[in-house]
Amino acid sequence: MDISSIQPKVDAADIPLEKLAGNTSLTEEEKMGEVGRQFEAVLLRQILSEAQKPTFKSKYTDDSTASSIYRDMTVKQLADSMSRAGGLGLARTLNTQLTKQLTGQ
């Protein structure tokens, strides 16, 4: 009985980063690709959160806790979407460099 055909395909994006390296159902290329994508998302989060800080304080800028949480959630989702789209290209470049180091080329 072949059980491997019954089990669904595991997506690297669904696995937490701390458990990614120990997962045996993913290839090394999939693991490196996801690590590069998540690294790119972290950098994008930092850039986007700095870009959203208002330069001038006024009565129209909301500095409440709820507003701050909403901004953080928005920045996280936007950064993740941008990194999944691959428009920045940092994850691809990082993946290429890591592959070269692993293969010894």
Q: Indicate whether this model's pTM tops 0.75.
A: no
30 within domain boundaries: yes
Average pLDDT of the residues in 31-53? 89
pLDDT higher than threshold 70 for residue 12: yes
As a whole-number percent, the residues of the chain with pLDDT over 70 amount to 87
68 within domain boundaries: yes
Average pLDDT of the residues in 28-40? 86
Residue 57 burial (CB count, 10 A):
8
Q: In which domain, by residue range, is 76 found? A: 25-54+61-103
Average pLDDT of the residues in 49-74? 81
- Domains held by the chain: number: 1
- Compute φ and ψ for 53, nearest 5 degrees: -70, 130
97 within domain boundaries: yes
8 within domain boundaries: no
